[in-house]
Structure 1
Amino acid sequence: MPDVEMTIQVAQDRKVTAIEIAPLGQTPQRLVLALDELDKLIGELGNARSRMVEGQSPPDFESDDVTISTAANTKWHIRAFPPAGALLAFYHPKFGPVGFTLPRDQIARIISFLTDRFILQPTQSAEKH
């Protein structure tokens, strides 16, 4: 695949985004998308990426080399699906609503981890006792 120049601009009124793509040295092709169209494109790109990494091992999250797109202080929702597990959904500013499902054993590991770190371990106090 040839090298490609790409620019993405959001309109001042934030109602559309313009994407220009051009192989090096060629005239760019311009695509103007509303938010729902951009969401659909992001979803289709996600589907394509999913097919491209099929069969590959997921990244090692213990490694410092892994970049994670973090969403802080976001709206989130948990829905239980007994006995199978639960859905954890949240709003990611880059990708919109996203979520994942967890089986019972992974939920138990998360609860154990959080309990150990935040409930059973005393918090550090600035005061000396």
Structure 2
Amino acid sequence: MPEMRIGVKVADDRGTVTIEIGSTESLASSFALNLDQLTKLIRLLGQARSRMVEGKPKEPLDGKTVETVFDPPWYVQVASIDGSLLAFDHPSYGPLAYAIPRADIARIVHTLTEHLALPAEQPDKPS
């Protein structure tokens, strides 16, 4: 498979994005998308990625650098899976939701309770 080059440029009015895709050996194709179309493309790419990693072992996140979103809109509710549903609006990927089993909720509550026992600080951004 030839090397690919991909470029993304948001319009000055932030109403559209132009995406260029092509091999390093040929001319690139470009197309413009509005926000709804871009969100749909991100969702479809996420679904494709999900199929590609299906069956592969899940790697722990401990010690890894992950993209941090500060203060997104969020929602939590008891889920029908004997757990909870946590949803938030990620600025890069749109609305995301996680069904979290009861045992994991207990671990999260324990960790957050320990956090609340610490002296309150007012950092500008998460570390």
Normalising to structure 2: TM-score of the pair? Answer: 0.86
Deviations for 1:14-45, whole angstroms, at most 9, x for unmatched residues? 11100001111311101111111101100110
Q: Report the counterpart of residue 54 of structure 1 in structure 2.
A: 54
Q: Report the counterpart of residue 65 of structure 2 in structure 1.
A: 67
- Structure 2, unpaired ranges of 5+: 122-127
Q: How many residues align?
A: 121
Q: 1:49 is aligned with what amino acid?
A: R
C-alpha distance in 1, partners of 2:110/2:5? 48
Q: Report the counterpart of residue 41 of structure 1 in structure 2.
A: 41
C-alpha distance in 1, partners of 2:37/2:6? 18
Deviation at 1:108, TM superposition (A): 1.2
Q: Report the counterpart of residue 123 of structure 1 in structure 2.
A: 119
For 2:37, what is the secondary structure of its paired residue? Answer: helix
Deviation at 1:117, TM superposition (A): 3.0
C-alpha distance in 1, partners of 2:51/2:80? 30
Deviation at 1:103, TM superposition (A): 1.4
C-alpha distance in 2, partners of 1:112/1:20? 47
| Greater relative CO (CA pairs within 8 A, separation 6+) | 2
C-alpha distance in 2, partners of 1:6/1:68? 22
Q: Report the counterpart of residue 124 of structure 2 in structure 1.
A: none
- Structure 1, unpaired ranges of 5+: none
Relative distance call for 1:11 and 1:124 in structure 2 (3 A) is closer
Q: Report the counterpart of residue 17 of structure 1 in structure 2.
A: 17
Larger Rg, first or second structure (1 or 2): 1
Q: Report the counterpart of residue 32 of structure 1 in structure 2.
A: 32
The answer as to 2:107 corresponding to 1:109 is yes
Q: Report the counterpart of residue 125 of structure 2 in structure 1.
A: none
Q: CA RMSD in A?
A: 1.8
Q: Check the 8 A contact 2:39/2:94 in 1, yes or no.
A: yes
Q: Report the counterpart of residue 5 of structure 1 in structure 2.
A: 5
Deviation at 1:116, TM superposition (A): 2.4
